[in-house]
Chain A
Amino acid sequence: MQPEKSMAPALAVTVLVSVGRHPLTGRRRRADRDARGVELACSAPGAKVSLLHAGVLDEASEAALRDYLGMGFEALTLIEQAPGADVLPALAERLEAAAPQLVIAGERAEQGEGSGLLPYLLAERLGWPLVNGLAAVEGVEDGIATLLQALPRGQRRRLRVRLPAILTVDAAAPAARQSAFGPARRGRLEVAEAPVVEDPALAEWQMVPARKRPKRLKIVKAASARERFKAAAAKAEGGGGQVLADATPEQGAEAILKLLREEGVLTR
């Protein structure tokens, strides 16, 4: 993306992009949340956006990474890592050296661990603040960014954060622009070297496809369309529940056990 010339100091933004996986066919593609992150970065005023990926370089992942280039980029920096490597040190080192003001990432990957923890671990390691659920970057002034955070049911919260910071993007962010075939094919993957750190824990894990998390069925006893609509649009009412402050671990465990019994998750 070309920075706008009028904005004197360009805002250096690095977007962490990953190789996504289509939920139905499993084909490699640009990850939806990461692509939204790229879109958000491109629409931030005065942003100079660069793309960064750490991972394996093979045919399938190259095609997927090129989808990001098709959004209008000439190059993407790729830190080549062995399969099963822990990409955190490589990314952290790279970001420390490049020192962007903003780092944007999707809130979780579409494959691999997909725990959504990487941005938090990065933030911890770099000592930067992290804002999750980002919907827009409204502007940056004097090293302070004004951000719009997405909350449930379309609510937004305006935050001011001192840079540098890490931002994660959720589904409320604007949809990513189309990836064009020509630029995607012409773009360069600039391979950067970084030490490979094995992830010993990962090797012991067994990977199975994730299942959708079960959701409580909302039973709406509504007679009219109006009531059904109201039920659908209503705010989640946290009717029951209690807030435990300064509770001991025993009290906490007791409360959780009690709730699970009430909900019928645990019998007895």
Chain B
Amino acid sequence: MLETLLPILIIAALGVAVAGAWRRVRLWRQGRPSAVPLLKGLAALPRRYLVDLHHVVGRDKVMSNTHVATAGGFVAAAVLMILVHGLGFANPVLGGLLLAACATMFAGSLFVARRRRNPPARLSRGPWMRLPKSLMAFSLGVFLVTLPTMGILPAVLGSWLLALALTAVVVWGLAEMVVGMTWGGPMKHAFAGALHLAFHRRAERFGEGNRSTGLKALDLEDHDARLGVETPADFTWNQLLGFDACVQCGRCEAVCPAFAAGQPLNPKKLIQDMVVGMAGGTDAAYAGSPYPGKPIGEHQGSPHGPIVAQKGQALVDAETLWSCTTCRACVEECPMMIEHVDAIVDMRRFLTLERGETPNKAPEVLDNLIATDNPGGFDPGARMHWAADLDLPLMADLQQVDVLLWLGDGAYDMRNQRTLRALVKVLRAAEVDFAVLGNEERDSGDVARRLGDEATFQSLARRNIATLAKYRFQHIVTCDPHSFHVLGNEYGELGGHYRVYHHSTFIAELYESGRLAFRPWKGGSVTYHDPCYLGRYNGEFEAPRNVLRALGIQVAEMERSGFRSRCCGGGGGAPITDIPGKRRIPDMRMNDVEATGASLVAVGCPQCTAMLEGVVDAGAEVRDIAELVADALVARPAAKATPPSRQPVLEEEV
């Protein structure tokens, strides 16, 4: 009986799955067009899956091995099952392989079951709780029906009752593992995930050491176009596909600073809400952690309905979108390579550019950027007041230098002015040929862009690019990772291509080439806070640590450092939109610092400095790397013979 039933079942399951796939593809195709090379993407799929994806999954060794066994076993078992049972190639080799694949898959499913016994809070429950049983049903069912085919067991499996039970198990397994792949359920991630990897919007992020973190420019040419993302269908089709690939593992939730602070954001829920919106319905079926403070079941949406309601509730509340600090911790952790930050900024663009609903102080900051080119509304002519006594060389006078020192808006901030003075001292000690733009410099546009005001960003960027085009320089050095990121990664799309260094990288190079000498460190224990826009955005984890090592400092690392560094709360305009939570993000980060026992935290970002210094009763001092370096400077042993630099080295207290 089974011999006749099995091929029918398998072919039927495949047929239903194909129909589901068609339906799923139509859901994704509601999105806006996005040009990706389809065949090239499919060709790159195995490598992206086996190398790039498993590089992320491999951070959790147990889960990684579990997934290799389960998924590898399943794929092999499914292919062999079609050959052996579906098409009747019942030779002993294929059958044996099928048995082995089923056994591997079953072993993996035992680990899946173990994790599901006491699942951590970040994992979704609901349908996901039945997944280990479904995996077992498939592997065990296929294993058992293969035994008679192989002649290991008699063809008639005892009674027909037993055969019926076995058929039921196989049907369950096929329903979950084959039909569920395209009709919804936990296995949807395999189908959508594979295509998502193939048609990813940021193909350039794949490959060893590659990053693609700059936001994509919004086309402002078409005057009639609605800007940003209002409805789920306003995302590009491959963004929708990406949302559908989510496995709800909650790694993003576990690292999200806003979620930890009790602000109403959970990256996992946000992605699931986009899936709800894409298909239409409510979020009542969602079985994971909610947005803090927002009960599940109150929100609903449709592909062409608004994501954020003007009054009342729709799919997502605006404050959820404004809670994000754009720290990219979620994107870094996501094993499915979903781009949460892109989606959030896309939706913010609509709220800002079309509705004019940027919350709290943000409209004021944007107006300041439009009117004065800096977020504080200061006089553009006062940008260099902090350096009145430093006699800084101006690009306008020199026209050509090695290094253009980009000051950033920290030039208006008294705390950051100390960092800038320290940096100037270091550059002069190393006799670097540098100059500043002075009053010609404008805000890089970082904050405007993260707040969704693409128009103001592009206006600032184009004017900065025009200014930079007037002068000749080898590279740009800045102590602001946000300017670093924007100048280096986001101006390119608008025609500005520069080699940009963060000051820590530049100082590390100066030290290595013997142009700086330091006295040994005499202070206490030091830890280092990785700025998101330097680390995760630009992959610079080593240079700041090299500088600290050169100073003779042994860094006491925080538990979350390097690519897992926790945000200070200062990115993405979050201090401006200021969405309330239960805790403050910088307080949590300062607790991380104190947990190392360090009496000083070295930072490399004006935002981080401001956020961490704003923590009340903090146990550790906050100092920029440039300040530490400037304090430790001693005359180089071989420097006596060098000719005097263009500018006299000022002896100054920093």
Interface 1/0s, chain B 354-380, versus A by CB < 8 A? 111110000100110011110001111
Q: Which residues of A contact B555 (CB under 8 A)?
A: none
Which of A98-106, A182-190, A196-204 is the interface stretch?
A182-190
Q: Which residues of A contact B352 (CB under 8 A)?
A: 178, 180-181
How close is A72's CB to chain B, nearest CB, in angstroms?
Answer: 7
Check B357–A178 contact: CB distance below 8 A: yes
Instruction: Decide yes or no whether A33 CB sits under 8 A from chain B.
Output: no
Instruction: Decide yes or no whether B226 CB sits under 8 A from chain A.
Output: yes
Instruction: Decide yes or no whether B651 CB sits under 8 A from chain A.
Output: no
Check A181–B223 contact: CB distance below 8 A: no
Cβ-neighbour of A182 out of B226, B358, B370, B373 (below 8 A) = B226
Q: Which residues of B contact A25 (CB under 8 A)?
A: 371-373, 379-380
Q: How far is the CA of A181 from the CA of B452 in the complex (A)?
A: 11
Cβ-neighbour of B223 out of A70, A179, A185 (below 8 A) = A185
Known: A27-B371, A180-B352. A186 touches B358 (CB 8 A): no
Instruction: Decide yes or no whether B324 CB sits under 8 A from chain A.
Output: no
How close is B222's CB to chain A, nearest CB, in angstroms?
Answer: 10
Please provide the chain B residues from 332 to 359 with a CB less than 8 Å away from any CB of chain A in the complex. 352-358
Check A72–B356 contact: CB distance below 8 A: yes
Q: Which residues of A contact B226 (CB under 8 A)?
A: 182
Q: How far is the CA of A181 from the CA of B453 in the complex (A)?
A: 8
How close is A60's CB to chain B, nearest CB, in angstroms?
Answer: 13
Instruction: Decide yes or no whether A71 CB sits under 8 A from chain B.
Output: yes
How close is A59's CB to chain B, nearest CB, in angstroms?
Answer: 14
Q: Which residues of B contact A22 (CB under 8 A)?
A: 371-372
Check B356–A186 contact: CB distance below 8 A: no
Instruction: Decide yes or no whether B455 CB sits under 8 A from chain A.
Output: yes
Please provide the chain B residues from 177 to 235 with a CB less than 8 Å away from any CB of chain A in the complex. 223-224, 226-227
How close is A194's CB to chain B, nearest CB, in angstroms?
Answer: 28
Check A183–B354 contact: CB distance below 8 A: yes
Q: How far is the CA of A44 from the CA of B117 in the complex (A)?
A: 59
Closest residue of A by beta carbon distance from B453? A181
Q: Which residues of B contact A178 (CB under 8 A)?
A: 352, 356-358, 363, 366
Listed residue (A180, A183, A185) with the most chain B CB atoms within 10 angstroms of its CB: A180
Q: Which residues of A contact B356 (CB under 8 A)?
A: 70-72, 177-180, 183
Known: A24-B379, A25-B371, A29-B371. A180 touches B224 (CB 8 A): no
Q: Which residues of A contact B378 (CB under 8 A)?
A: 24
Closest residue of B by beta carbon distance from A63? B370
Q: Which residues of B contact A186 (CB under 8 A)?
A: 223-224
Q: Which residues of B contact A183 (CB under 8 A)?
A: 354, 356
Closest residue of A by beta carbon distance from B355? A180
Q: Which residues of A contact B453 (CB under 8 A)?
A: 181
Please provide the chain A residues from 181 to 232 with a CB less than 8 Å away from any CB of chain B in the complex. 181-183, 185-186
Q: Which residues of B contact A29 (CB under 8 A)?
A: 367, 370-371
Q: How far is the CA of A181 from the CA of B378 in the complex (A)?
A: 23
Check B380–A24 contact: CB distance below 8 A: yes
Q: Which residues of A contact B380 (CB under 8 A)?
A: 24-25
Cβ-neighbour of B354 out of A27, A177, A180 (below 8 A) = A180
Q: How far is the CA of A29 from the CA of B363 in the complex (A)?
A: 14
Interface 1/0s, chain A 153-193, versus B by CB < 8 A? 00000000000000000000000011111110110000000
Q: How far is the CA of A181 from the CA of B370 in the complex (A)?
A: 12
How close is B352's CB to chain A, nearest CB, in angstroms?
Answer: 7
Check A182–B227 contact: CB distance below 8 A: yes
Q: How far is the CA of A27 from the CA of B373 in the complex (A)?
A: 11
Q: How far is the CA of A245 from the CA of B378 in the complex (A)?
A: 48
Listed residue (A25, A27, A72, A183) with the most chain B CB atoms within 10 angstroms of its CB: A25
How close is A65's CB to chain B, nearest CB, in angstroms?
Answer: 15
Q: How far is the CA of A180 from the CA of B353 in the complex (A)?
A: 5
Cβ-neighbour of A181 out of B227, B363, B367 (below 8 A) = B227
Q: Which residues of B contact A180 (CB under 8 A)?
A: 352-357
Q: How far is the CA of A72 from the CA of B357 in the complex (A)?
A: 11
Q: How far is the CA of A132 from the CA of B89 in the complex (A)?
A: 93
Q: How far is the CA of A251 from the CA of B506 in the complex (A)?
A: 77
Q: Which residues of A contact B355 (CB under 8 A)?
A: 180
Check A24–B354 contact: CB distance below 8 A: no
Known: A70-B356, A72-B356. A181 touches B372 (CB 8 A): no
Q: Which residues of B contact A177 (CB under 8 A)?
A: 356, 363
Known: A24-B379, A24-B380. A182 touches B371 (CB 8 A): no
Q: Which residues of A contact B227 (CB under 8 A)?
A: 181-182
Q: Which residues of A contact B371 (CB under 8 A)?
A: 22, 24-25, 27, 29
Q: How far is the CA of A24 from the CA of B380 in the complex (A)?
A: 8
Check B372–A24 contact: CB distance below 8 A: yes
Q: How far is the CA of A29 from the CA of B364 in the complex (A)?
A: 13
Q: Which residues of A contact B223 (CB under 8 A)?
A: 185-186
How close is B377's CB to chain A, nearest CB, in angstroms?
Answer: 7
Check B224–A181 contact: CB distance below 8 A: no
Q: How far is the CA of A200 from the CA of B453 in the complex (A)?
A: 44
How close is B271's CB to chain A, nearest CB, in angstroms?
Answer: 26
Q: How far is the CA of A183 from the CA of B223 in the complex (A)?
A: 10
Q: How far is the CA of A179 from the CA of B357 in the complex (A)?
A: 9
Q: Which residues of B contact A71 (CB under 8 A)?
A: 356
Q: How far is the CA of A25 from the CA of B372 in the complex (A)?
A: 6
How close is B228's CB to chain A, nearest CB, in angstroms?
Answer: 8
Q: How far is the CA of A177 from the CA of B223 in the complex (A)?
A: 22
How close is B221's CB to chain A, nearest CB, in angstroms?
Answer: 11
Please provide the chain A residues from 8 to 32 with a CB less than 8 Å away from any CB of chain B in the complex. 22, 24-25, 27, 29
Q: Which residues of A contact B357 (CB under 8 A)?
A: 178, 180
Check A181–B353 contact: CB distance below 8 A: yes
Q: How far is the CA of A24 from the CA of B367 in the complex (A)?
A: 13
How close is B463's CB to chain A, nearest CB, in angstroms?
Answer: 13
Interface 1/0s, chain A 80-110, versus B by CB < 8 A? 0000000000000000000000000000000
How close is B220's CB to chain A, nearest CB, in angstroms?
Answer: 8
Q: How far is the CA of A24 from the CA of B381 in the complex (A)?
A: 9
Check B358–A24 contact: CB distance below 8 A: no
Please provide the chain B residues from 510 to 559 with a CB less than 8 Å away from any CB of chain A in the complex. none
Closest residue of A by beta carbon distance from B366? A178
Q: How far is the CA of A156 from the CA of B356 in the complex (A)?
A: 30
Interface 1/0s, chain A 24-63, versus B by CB < 8 A? 1101010000000000000000000000000000000000
How close is B590's CB to chain A, nearest CB, in angstroms?
Answer: 30
Q: How far is the CA of A111 from the CA of B227 in the complex (A)?
A: 33
Q: Which residues of B contact A24 (CB under 8 A)?
A: 371-372, 377-380
Q: How far is the CA of A183 from the CA of B352 in the complex (A)?
A: 11
Closest residue of A by beta carbon distance from B455? A181
Closest residue of B by beta carbon distance from A176? B363
Closest residue of B by beta carbon distance from A28? B371
Q: How far is the CA of A181 from the CA of B226 in the complex (A)?
A: 10
Q: Which residues of B contact A182 (CB under 8 A)?
A: 226-227, 353-354
Q: Which residues of B contact A181 (CB under 8 A)?
A: 227, 352-354, 453, 455
CB-CB nearest 4 A-B residue pairs: A180-B356, A178-B356, A178-B363, A22-B371
Q: B interface vs A, CB < 8 Å?
A: 223-224, 226-227, 352-358, 363, 366-367, 370-373, 377-380, 453, 455
Q: A interface vs B, CB < 8 Å?
A: 22, 24-25, 27, 29, 70-72, 177-183, 185-186
> 11 interchain pairs (CB within 8 A)?
A24-B371, A24-B379, A24-B380, A25-B372, A70-B356, A177-B356, A178-B352, A178-B366, A181-B455, A182-B227, A185-B223
Give 12 A-B pairs besides A180-B352, A182-B353, A185-B223 with Cβ atoms closer than 8 angstroms.
Answer: A25-B379, A29-B371, A71-B356, A72-B356, A177-B356, A178-B363, A178-B366, A179-B356, A180-B353, A180-B355, A180-B357, A182-B354
